[in-house]
Amino acid sequence: MNICIPKERRDSEYRVGLTPAGVQLLSEQGHTLFVEHEAGMGSGFSDHHYQEAGGRIVYSGDEVYGRADLVIKVVPPTRKEYAWMREEQTVMGFLHLTAGQPSKIKTLLEKKITAIGYEIIQEDDGKLPVLVPISQLAGRMVPQIAATLAQNNYGGKGFALGGVPGVPPADVVILGGGIVGQNAARTFLGLGANVYLLDNSLANLQSIDREFKGCVHTLVSYPFNIEKVCSYADILIGAILVPGAPTPVIVSQDMVKKLHSRSIIIDLSIDQGGCFETSRPTSHSNPTYVEEDVIHYCVPNMTGVLGRTATHALNNAAWPLIKQIAKQGIDSALKENKALQRGVYTHQGEIVKDQLNQALKGR
């Protein structure tokens, strides 16, 4: 099989789809690996590293897509990358198609692309094995972003997360008690912040209370509780996930207005549309904007600037699936692996994910 690793083309995206170690393992199994020039530089991997591992360097996106049976990406393809795709390829990465443009989905269907979204690969027990490590990293990264935005020189109110003796810590509110929310809570607590976490599952809140030994204040995410926490939050984190579907908006513009001046919103759900009515995608080059006198940070590829750690974490999780597809071919792998099958958006010119159909009908 011809397996290709393109350079990521989105703003400040330093991750790469496959490490040299992965290239070596696949090369040893008889596959041909094409790696675009400098694809791994942001993660600390040179072209020489890939060549030593058995990879072949190509010098344009057009060529890397033109040679591929399987394309291994990280973030959603750009419009130009969609144009480079050839018929009946398999493309895998964090595709987030339910929040994508209909024209791009049309291209996938016309070219009979098998599109596999890492974010919706799901085990029988509901776990999302490839998304989990990136969610863990995102949760642990959020406090350092929040601490920076709280500084005066970044437009913030000038507060320290943990306060000091005689000055209370910041009030941090996290919406969503999943992997991101729990990892964010743990790191904020380590920095001394006062942490509130809201979730719609009482069972999950009870588990979180046990995990954190009562150090996290938990609330059920009823609208009146969300409105209540908006009245005192210094930092409000959106960590809502509905696998394969657009994120529901649970914080209205009127609720945002209740936040203090120069409070901070960080919407980690933005890659699926965002959970704040005032959210819109930003980038690492221009990460924030102010609306209703509140600082908004809504960068879809937040962990993209932790290229080294994020790439290794992603490859640890995705490697067994990549190996299976390469060994068996896409059709056989999908028949055998139910978790992988649940990760397919389009296949053989058809939409096979119900949530994608529903998202398209809603536009």
Phi, psi of 340 (to 5 degrees): -65, -40
Token representation of residue 87: 């018929």
271 included as an active-site residue: yes
Q: Which of 139, 156, 137 is nearest to 148 (CA)?
A: 156
* Angle formed at CA 268 by CA 264 and CA 274, multiple of 5 degrees: 95
Beta-carbon contacts of residue 13 (< 8 Å; ≥ 6 apart): 42, 74, 75, 301, 304
Q: How far is residue 296's CA from residue 305's CA, in Å, rounded to a whole number?
A: 19
Q: How far is residue 298's CA from residue 62's CA, in Å, rounded to a whole number?
A: 31
Residue 317 burial (CB count, 10 A) = 17
Query: For 297, left (φ over 0), alpha (ψ -120 to 50), or beta?
Result: beta
The answer to whether the CB of 311 falls within 8 A of the CB of 318 is: no
Using H for helix, E for strand and C for coil, what is the string for 310-336?
HHHHHHHHHHHHHHHHHHHCHHHHHHH
| Catalytic member of 69, 234, 267, 271 | 271
| Catalytic member of 49, 96, 296, 347 | 96
CA distances for 73 relative to 39, 169, 358, angstroms? 10, 40, 25
96 included as an active-site residue: yes
Straight-line distance from the first to the last Cα atom of the chain, in angstroms, rounded to the nearest whole number: 38
Q: Sheet containing 350-351: which strands, arranged edge to edge?
A: 56-58, 32-36, 2-5, 70-72, 90-93, 114-117, 344-347, 350-351
| Three-state secondary structure call for residue 295 | strand
Task: Give catalytic residue positions.
Answer: 96, 271
